[in-house]
């Protein structure tokens, strides 16, 4: 966006009312999903002489865990996938899979990177942080079978390359893995920040002590570019911490340990990465990247989480936390969980991919999550459960998100009383979301779950639930599913589009109550527009419906 003249500023008393601020060089925000600083290239849409995997949603296949359910596999020397930069870039992220070893501890292997036909460097890949086995919560022993969670990501600074550069990933003779499956490649420019005024610089050593010293001096703590080992929780309260950017400042965990633990308000952490060292899910033993009760004025901005147990576990007492521009990758449990008495908290403009459980969840466990929201996020490929979920709570929202490619025991969006939460109260809003290739099979129940799943489990759902301006495409089973065994009422659907479902467009299974549908359309539903097996449930038809 070009720079424009700022409108007049009107002063009223001691306050300043600003009508608009325009930033030179800024771009318009995406209408749905996060506005991302990188460009993604799907391998199956690039140039390749490798094998393009056929689309498949069968659990425990590599294709089912791939973005768009397709990827490219390189198995022979000289096989490659290549793409042309549409914008300048100096930072590369590759989502890939290479085989595990017999012990489950992973292998290391290189993959050759070329720029305009010239070998640039070898990428160091590993399967140490992928491949889990057995039953929930899934361990690291191949003898338990049921292998899944095949993918990991590798990040590399590659030097400055202009638009038009042809980058190629190629299996050369020295690249020793038997196969390389390439799913998606992200390219961006990794700008390094500098220390702002009012900060003191971390010089190494004990980070907890440095934080305490900065706070005592009334300063923020600047963590310069570099990689810093952390082996325990970093305690934060009423302090600002900034790094040089998530490509430049990295806090590196050890043996599943290491992350920030917040107590109280004004915790502000930005512009850094936390790279964990978890290799399987250990709920009681490992640390979350960010955890605690974040009070008023708290902010997490432009942070990356990789290989941790959980990205963010915001617990009882959190009030007013704002998370913006986060990247959460390859966690073994949730990406974000707002747990218990969490209020006025928003996760916004963030990207979440390849979590081990719900990508974004609100769980009113013991106390209600209240007036909180997941907004303008791009969520892809949770390996278990849902892209977004509301379990009980009061007056929460899921709006303006792009949600895609759930794998198993999953919906795109779940509004539910599962896990014995405080029942739903207030008005819950689900609006302006796009769900693509979501829903999944729950093997423990033998059940097919819809892209949008409203599930009355441990309590009825009778508080208002508004679903509007929602697009559901290519759902694996139902587009919308309402279930099971209790009462669901007061649900309204307006301007909902359901296209190309694996079974029904809308399904009602063993519930009492009612829902009102207006301006809702179903097209290309394999089993039909509507299945209502419940004689005690009424579908109320407003104006503008079609296809069911």
Residue 360: HSE in the Cβ half-sphere, 13 Å Cα cutoff: 34
489 assigned to some structural domain:
yes
281 assigned to some structural domain:
no
Q: In this structure, what DSSP letter does residue 69 have?
A: G
How many angstroms separate the Cα of 306 from the Cα of each of 215, 329, 353? 27, 5, 10
For residue 509, is pLDDT > 60? yes
Residue 188 and residue 94 in contact, taking contact as beta carbons nearer than 8 Å: no
For residue 318, is pLDDT > 60? yes
CA angle, corner 169, sides to 163 and 173, nearest 5? 145
Nearest to 319 by CA among 274, 363, 371: 371
Residue 257 and residue 279 in contact, taking contact as beta carbons nearer than 8 Å: no
> pLDDT tens digit string along 36-53?
999 999 999 999 999 999
> pLDDT tens digit string along 380-423?
999 999 999 999 999 999 999 999 999 999 999 999 999 999 99
256 assigned to some structural domain:
no
Largest CA distance in the chain: 73
27 assigned to some structural domain:
no
Helix (H) or strand (E) holding 500: strand 487-501
Q: In this structure, what DSSP letter does residue 319 have?
A: B
265 assigned to some structural domain:
no
Give the pLDDT of residue 8: 38
What is the CB neighbour count within 10 angstroms for residue 156?
A: 16
146 assigned to some structural domain:
yes
Of 131, 156, 188, which residue constitutes the final position of a domain? Answer: 188
- In whole angstroms, give the CA distance from residue 389 to residue 370: 14
Percent of the chain past pLDDT 90, that is, above it, reads 95
Residue 486 token pair: 């209790």
Give the pLDDT of residue 7: 37
Nearest to 258 by CA among 291, 283, 226: 291
Give the pLDDT of residue 25: 66
Give the pLDDT of residue 358: 98
Residue 180 and residue 152 in contact, taking contact as beta carbons nearer than 8 Å: no
For residue 10, is pLDDT > 60? no
Q: What's the rounded mean pLDDT across residues 125-151?
A: 97
Q: What's the rounded mean pLDDT across residues 437-450?
A: 97
Residue 24 and residue 3 in contact, taking contact as beta carbons nearer than 8 Å: yes
Give the pLDDT of residue 11: 38
Give the pLDDT of residue 28: 87
- In whole angstroms, give the CA distance from residue 361 to residue 352: 12
Q: Can you give the CATH number for the domain in which 126 is found?
A: 2.60.120.260
Nearest to 224 by CA among 240, 241, 206, 208: 241
Residue 158 and residue 189 in contact, taking contact as beta carbons nearer than 8 Å: no
Domain count, the chain: 2
Q: Is the peptide bond before 137 cis (omega within 30 degrees of 0)?
A: yes
Give the pLDDT of residue 15: 59
Q: 316-341: string of b/e by CB count within 10 Å (b at 16+)?
A: ebbbbbbbbbbbbbbbbbbbbbbbbb
Q: What's the rounded mean pLDDT across residues 231-253?
A: 97
Of 157, 188, 219, which residue constitutes the final position of a domain? Answer: 188
> pLDDT tens digit string along 99-112?
999 999 999 999 99
Give the pLDDT of residue 21: 66
Per DSSP (E only), the strands in 350-410 are 351-353, 360-363, 373-375, 378-380, 388-391, 393-394, 397-399, 402-404
480 assigned to some structural domain:
yes
Give the pLDDT of residue 27: 76
Lowest-confidence range among 13-22, 36-45, 478-487? 13-22
How many angstroms separate the Cα of 76 from the Cα of each of 72, 147, 170? 12, 24, 9
Nearest to 151 by CA among 312, 381, 387, 435: 381
Helix (H) or strand (E) holding 213: helix 207-216
For residue 226, is pLDDT > 50? yes
Q: What does the mean pLDDT of the chain come to?
A: 95
Residue 318 token pair: 């959190």
Give the pLDDT of residue 78: 98
Q: What's the rounded mean pLDDT across residues 1-25?
A: 50
φ, ψ (nearest 5 deg) of residue 179? -150, 150
Q: Is the peptide bond before 484 cis (omega within 30 degrees of 0)?
A: yes
62 assigned to some structural domain:
yes
- In whole angstroms, give the CA distance from residue 176 to residue 70: 23
CA angle, corner 393, sides to 388 and 394, nearest 5? 115
Q: Can you give the residue range of the structural domain that contains 469?
A: 334-541
Of 188, 205, 230, which residue constitutes the final position of a domain? Answer: 188
Q: Can you give the CATH number for the domain in which 405 is found?
A: 2.160.20.10
| HEC assignment per residue over 524-537 | EECCEEEEECCCCE
What is the CB neighbour count within 10 angstroms for residue 16?
A: 9
Give the pLDDT of residue 1: 31
Q: In this structure, what DSSP letter does residue 255 have?
A: T
pTM of the model: 0.95
């Amino acid at each position: 966006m070009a720079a424009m003249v700022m409108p007049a500023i009107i002063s009223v008393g001691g306050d300043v009312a600003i009508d608009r601020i325009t930033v030179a060089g800024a771009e318009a925000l995406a209408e749905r999903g996060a506005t991302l600083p990188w460009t993604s290239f799907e391998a199956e849409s690039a140039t390749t002489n490798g094998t393009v995997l056929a689309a498949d949603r069968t659990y425990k296949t590599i294709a089912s865990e791939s973005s768009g359910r397709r990827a490219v596999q390189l198995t022979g020397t000289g096989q490659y996938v290549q793409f042309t930069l549409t914008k300048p870039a100096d930072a590369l992220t590759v989502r890939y899979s290479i085989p595990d070893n017999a012990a489950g501890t992973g292998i290391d292997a290189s993959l050759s990177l070329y720029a305009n036909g010239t070998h640039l460097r070898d990428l160091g890949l590993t399967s140490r942080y992928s491949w889990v086995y057995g039953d929930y919560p899934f361990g690291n022993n191949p003898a338990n079978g049921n292998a899944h969670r095949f993918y990991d990501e590798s990040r590399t600074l590659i030097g400055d390359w202009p638009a038009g550069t042809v980058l190629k990933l190629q299996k050369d003779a020295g690249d020793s893995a038997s196969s390389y499956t390439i799913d998606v490649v992200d390219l961006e420019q990794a700008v390094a920040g500098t220390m702002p005024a009012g900060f003191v610089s971390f010089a190494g050593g004990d980070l907890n002590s440095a934080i305490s010293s900065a706070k005592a001096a009334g300063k923020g703590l600047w963590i310069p570019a570099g990689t810093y080992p952390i082996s325990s929780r970093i305690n934060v309260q009423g302090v600002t911490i900034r790094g040089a950017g998530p490509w430049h400042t990295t806090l590196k965990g050890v043996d599943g340990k290491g992350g920030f633990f917040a107590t109280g308000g004004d915790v502000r952490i930005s512009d850094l990465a936390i790279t964990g060292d978890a290799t399987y899910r250990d709920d009681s033993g490992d640390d979350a990247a960010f955890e605690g009760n974040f009070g008023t004025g708290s902010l997490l901005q432009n942070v990356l989480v990789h290989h941790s147990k959980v990205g963010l576990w915001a617990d009882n007492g959190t009030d007013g936390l704002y998370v913006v521009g986060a990247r959460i990758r390859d966690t073994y449990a949730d990406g974000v969980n707002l747990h218990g008495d969490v209020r006025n908290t928003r996760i916004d403009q963030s990207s979440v991919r390849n979590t081990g459980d719900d990508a974004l969840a609100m769980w009113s466990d013991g106390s209600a999550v209240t007036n909180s929201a997941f907004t303008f996020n791009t969520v892809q490929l949770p390996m278990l459960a849902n892209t977004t979920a509301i379990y009980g709570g009061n007056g929460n929202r899921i709006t303006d998100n792009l949600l895609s490619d759930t794998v198993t025991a999953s919906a795109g969006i779940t509004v539910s009383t599962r896990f014995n939460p405080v029942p739903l109260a207030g008005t819950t809003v689900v609006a302006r979301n796009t769900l693509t290739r979501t829903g999944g099979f729950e093997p423990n129940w033998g059940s097919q779950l819809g892209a949008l799943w409203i599930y009355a489990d441990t309590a009825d759902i009778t508080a208002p639930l508004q679903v509007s301006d929602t697009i559901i495409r290519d759902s694996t089973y139902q587009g919308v599913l309402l279930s099971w065994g209790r009462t669901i009422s007061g649900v309204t659907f307006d301007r909902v589009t359901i296209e190309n479902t694996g079974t029904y467009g809308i399904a009602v299974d063993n519930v009492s109550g009612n829902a009102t549908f207006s301006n809702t359309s179903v097209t290309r539903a394999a089993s039909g527009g509507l299945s209502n097996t419940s004689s005690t449930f009424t579908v109320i038809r407003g104006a503008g419906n079609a296809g069911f």
